[in-house]
Structure 1
Amino acid sequence: MHRLPMIFAALPFALGILSQRENVWIAAIFSLLVIVFRKHLKPPVTISFFVLGFAAGRVSQTSVDIPLDKKTQTIVRVTGMPQLAGKWLRSEARIISFKDSTGEWREAHAKLLLNVDSALGLQLGDTLMIEAKHYSVFDYYIIKGIVSRVYVNGYQRIGTDTALLERMILLRGILSDKFDRIETTNENRALMQALTLGDRSEINRDQRDSYSRAGAAHLLAVSGLHVGIIFAVLSFLLGWLSLLRRGRYICGVVVIVLMWVYAALTGFSPSVLRAVLMFSLYQLSLLVERDANQLNTLLGAAFVLLLINPNYILDIGFQLSFTAMLGIILLYRPIFALWRSGIWRIAAVTLAAQIAVVPLSVYYFGTLPLVGLLVNLGLWLTVPSIMVLSLLYLVSGIGFVGTTAAWLCRLQNGFVSWCASQRWIAITDIVMPLWMLAAIYGGLIIIIIILMRKNLL
């Protein structure tokens, strides 16, 4: 435990948020653990962070008293790139203020899903006065701070302006348009955009279902794998800076800055934030010439992200990406030790991540991929190549590079589509109760503890 100081902060902080949001029994279980293992868990520290997490969960809950199913005057600012969905232009928007039942204008700190008649037009950065009914949204959106959805057939535009992050979104749109110049199918272009820019808006339902059934849906969202590839490419391309005086520090700082620029370009999703923050901490540890404990770094990254936004803990993408990275850190070495070879190294990383993620994936999506390891092992050969070639095409504009990337996308999409078409590829419609999920992870934790005591981890 002394090698993992962040466990005394991150774990109780996360449990505190969950106990406030989900179930008070979590607080009772936490109290019991502190009593039983008081010699190891540093009760004053862990209890303090648990209370802090509980308070953070309470403060971060989005609550805006906008009346539902009633026309309300609202001033909003468009914060997402509008996407065409049928007759509507759809985007996220930040609520600036609304007129309550007494006719008074009230400020608000929440977001809504804005649907505007496509004939009216909509731009990123628009500030609009609208009058429309507010409808309820699913819990998935509430976690993201979105409290309602509206459908607008008319508005008054107050002004248009873009902040720095919104300009990054505009830049992402410009880069996405460059993929349209490549002569290939929409599915191939959609895959290039998803892998490099984190833009999944062009991926159709059939393509998404194929990747999910084949056990490769995680590849469609920029996460630790993709950020790791970016980190490796940047470190290689900027390695020559180390030859300069104090070049090692210059190289490290430039790599960190460019990774955060990439995170902004992909929309600051929880999985990207977690990965970029972890690689940044790892890079900083290299600069100060200290050995980085990967598990402690991951816990530190998780704690910082939850401190910034406690809602991340209920985000499925955050849970899956964090669990996958946790599995790689804890299980990769013993799995790789079974057979030390180059191809098994890649398989060991994939297997470690899947062992950790599969129970959570089955719980949420009800699908158990039976040969996900083999599918992902094959995609390890194409995904890095597609990413590197796509980014090179965006920078250089060389048509041959983009065409080659598109050909690899066609190869990968075809492989995934064939796998998904096989009846034996996955077991579907599984219903896993929460207690079973907890039991599975409890068993994994016991196994990990045993391996640690035998110095196999």
Structure 2
Amino acid sequence: MLILLVALVAGMVIGAWVRVPLWVVIVCAATFYACAFRRDRIGEIALLLAFVMTGVAASLSEFGHDTPPLDEPLTLLLTIDEEPVDRGTWQRSSASVSWYRSNTDSTWHECDRRVIISTDSATQLAVGERIAIYSQLRPLADSTNSYVRLMHSRGYAGRVAIYRSTPLVRVGKAGSLRRASSRLQHWAAERLRASRLEGDQLALCTAIATGKRTTMSAQLREQYTLSGSSHLLAVSGLHVAIVFVVANILLRWLTLLARGSQLLNLAVVAVVWGYAAMTGMAVSVVRTALMFSALQFALASGASYRSGNVLATVAMVMLIVRPSLLGDVSFQLSVVAVAAIIYWAVPFCAQLRTRNGLLNLLTSTVVIGAVCTLATAPLVAYWFGRVAMVGVVLNPLVVLLGYELVVLSVMTIFVPTSWGFVARAAGAIAEAENRCVAVAAEMDWTQFTTDINGWTVVIIYAVAIVITELARRKTRKKSLSLPYV
């Protein structure tokens, strides 16, 4: 399946550069799929070419959506994606643009882009709310090139300011599922606020457990950025991975029951999606939850090649449905991190397995953290333009503390407020996390900027894939499970 994923990606890259009629590509793809039923070398080649044509078709269909023009009056139909973050006299949020209309053209254009929104504190916006505004879309050109490139990869077309004088019409509210998720997120944040947590401790626990960063100070954000640990502040693959592993550990007793393995898989997937709902069901979190749901059932299948096939299949389906994900840094990091866990972390942990369950938990935590950090380092260097080498050493400790912090933060939300010892324990872990990050942020000599290009990243991962395949051929297929017991 990996070679088919590569063929699909190659087709998408070709489709981004070559313009041919879509019907021609569809006819070619259908022809190759028909030839793929042959049980010989020609059939194998035809299948690869069919996936290449599928990638080209998906890429061409993506260009059916227009991009709003910059620096001219537009009517934009927006859906608020994130809860506004208070910046003092103004608020910052993001929204998806579904339709737009220009003054020079009375036609509505379908769109699939995102924008950064700046509003004054008097304008209240809710997650999932749909609004229509009349304003101008400004470019993302007031920051570094790496930042602009990163935002474009996430689908952002520009930024728009909403003032009191900006014409604004509230079109409607979010769907029932999105509203329920938003209410759950708000309730969880209020439960943490009602506990004995305060200051930076409350800010970190709230960010990790609910995805809300409204109470986080600028100084704390900067420290996490300089130490290479900023990924801890935004709910991402790391947080879902922590919930995934902890759920497997705490629910392992289900395997003692009849059909326990099936119950364990279903329960872990339910916990992962429950956590995604509590963090607001952000698009990146939903994608990561899909990845780890696939990983859970892949691990249950028992063989590493099956796990890789499941991961490749999920990635291909997501790319075909939304080809723009190919350039999305969150999608890239999620795929690379999960692949690193399957092909490197789990087999390596299996070699270190002992009869001591606690020692297995500690070693697997450190190994998974280190492997994911190293595996995603080329992407981080390319997209962010800065690498903090201290992060390679710090991240295993950050992940180790993150396990306890996620569990204790979630417990603080659901246990009675009279159980103050849970909140105090979460606060102590959060304080230790913040102190480690603050010390690492002061080590300027471990940070350096880089201007790595895309082809270098491709070559690095191509070499890693070749090494992985050679290593797999030299080893027998082994049972694959999380090595914590």
TM class by shorter chain equals 0.7 to 0.9
2-side partners of 1:393 and 1:222: how far apart? 18
Query: Which residue of structure 2 aligns with residue 437 of structure 1?
Result: 457
Read off the aligned partner of 2:47 and give its amino acid letter: V
**Alignment partner, residue 48 of structure 2:** 46
8 Å contact from structure 1 (residues 324, 353) kept in 2 = yes
* Correspondence for 2:9: 14
- Structure-2 residue corresponding to 1:305: 318
Contact 1:116 1:122 in 2 (8 A): no
1:151 aligns with 2:161: yes
Q: CA deviation at 1:131?
A: 2.4
**Any idea what the Cα deviations from partners look like across 1:340-381, whole Å, max 9, x if unmatched?**
664544433333323322232223334444344432232243
* CA gap 1:452/1:186 in 2 versus in 1, 3 angstroms: same
Q: Once the 2 structures are TM-superposed, how far is the Cα of residue 319 of structure 1 from its aligned partner?
A: 1.8
Aligned to 2:389: 370
Work out the CA distance in 2 between the residues paired with 1:86 and 1:23. 47
The 5 Å alignment of 1:281-292 reads: 281-284=294-297, 291=303
Unaligned runs of 5+ in 2: 20-39, 141-147, 478-485
Deviates more, 1:352-361 or 1:335-344: 335-344
Unaligned residue ranges in structure 1 (runs of 5+): 1-5, 25-37
Distance in 1 separating the partners of 2:115 and 2:391: 37
Q: Quick one: which amino acid aligns to residue 332 of structure 1? A: A
Change (3 A) 1:272 1:294: farther
Aligned mates of 1:39, 1:106 — CA distance in 2: 49
The two structures have a TM-score, normalised by structure 1, of 0.80
1:28 is matched with which residue? none
Are residues 339 and 106 of structure 1, via their aligned partners in 2, closer, same or farther at CA, if it must alter by over 3 Å?
closer
Residue number in structure 2 paired with 1:187: 200
For the residues of structure 2 that align with 1:305 and 1:447, how far apart are their CA atoms? 26
CA 1:274–1:405: 2 relative to 1, 3 Å: same
* 1:22 to 1:180, Cα distance in 2 relative to 1, 3 A: farther
- Rounded Cα–Cα distance in structure 2 between residues aligned with 1:368 and 1:124: 33
5 Å-filtered alignment, 1:323-402, equals: 323-332=336-345, 335-336=348-349, 342=359, 344-398=363-417, 399-402=420-423
2:261 & 2:473 partners in 1: Cα distance?
Answer: 37
Q: CA deviation at 1:303?
A: 1.8
1:196-207 maps to which residues of 2 (within 5 A)?
196-207=209-220
How many angstroms apart in 1 are the aligned matches of 2:75 and 2:309?
Answer: 48
Paired residues of 1:274 and 1:302 also in contact (CA < 8 A): no
User: What is the SS of the residue equivalent to 1:431?
Assistant: coil
Residue by residue, what CA displacement relative to the aligned partner does 1:20-45 show, whole Å, maximum 9, x if unpaired?
A: 34799xxxxxxxxxxxxx95992211
Q: Is the 8 A contact 2:366 2:400 kept in 1?
A: no
Candidates 415, 437, 450, aligned match of 2:436 = 415
Aligned equivalents of 2:407, 2:476: Cα separation in 1 = 35
User: Superposed, which structure 2 residues align to 1:266-281 within 5 Å?
Assistant: 266-269=279-282, 272-281=285-294
Q: How many residues align?
A: 437
Between the aligned partners of 2:90 and 2:383, the Cα distance in structure 1 is 30
Alignment of 1:155-166 (within 5 A): 155-163=167-175, 164-166=177-179
Distance 2:456 2:178 in 1: 41
Deviating more after overlay: 360-369 vs 379-388: 360-369
Return the letter of the residue paired with 2:57: A
Give, in angstroms, the shift of residue 428 of structure 1: 0.6
Compute the displacement of 1:409 (Å): 0.4
- Deviation of residue 310 (structure 1)? 1.9
Alpha-carbon displacement from aligned partner over 1:109-155 (angstroms, at most 9, x marks no partner): 33433333322433345444432222234454444444343222233
- Contact 1:274–1:322 under 8 Å retained in 2: no
Cα deviation for residue 59 of structure 1 reads 2.0
2:472 is aligned with what amino acid?
Answer: M
Structure 1 partner of 2:92: 90
Q: How large is the RMSD of aligned CA atoms in angstroms?
A: 3.6
Aligned to 1:81: 83
Partner amino acid, structure 2, of 1:18: V
The one-letter amino acid paired with 1:117 is D
Question: C-alpha deviations, 1:57-76, integer Å up to 9, x for none?
Answer: 23224743645323334444
Which of 54, 71, 81 is the equivalent residue of 1:69?
71
Moved more, 364-373 or 390-399: 364-373
- 2:56 is paired with a residue of what secondary structure? helix
TM-score by length of 2: 0.76
Deviates more, 1:442-451 or 1:387-396: 442-451
For 1:172 and 1:268, how far apart are their aligned partners in 2? 9
User: Which letter maps to 1:450?
Assistant: L
The within-5 A match list for 1:24-39 is none
Shift of 1:418: 0.8
Identity %: 27
Alignment partner for residue 455 of structure 1, among 449, 469, 475?
475
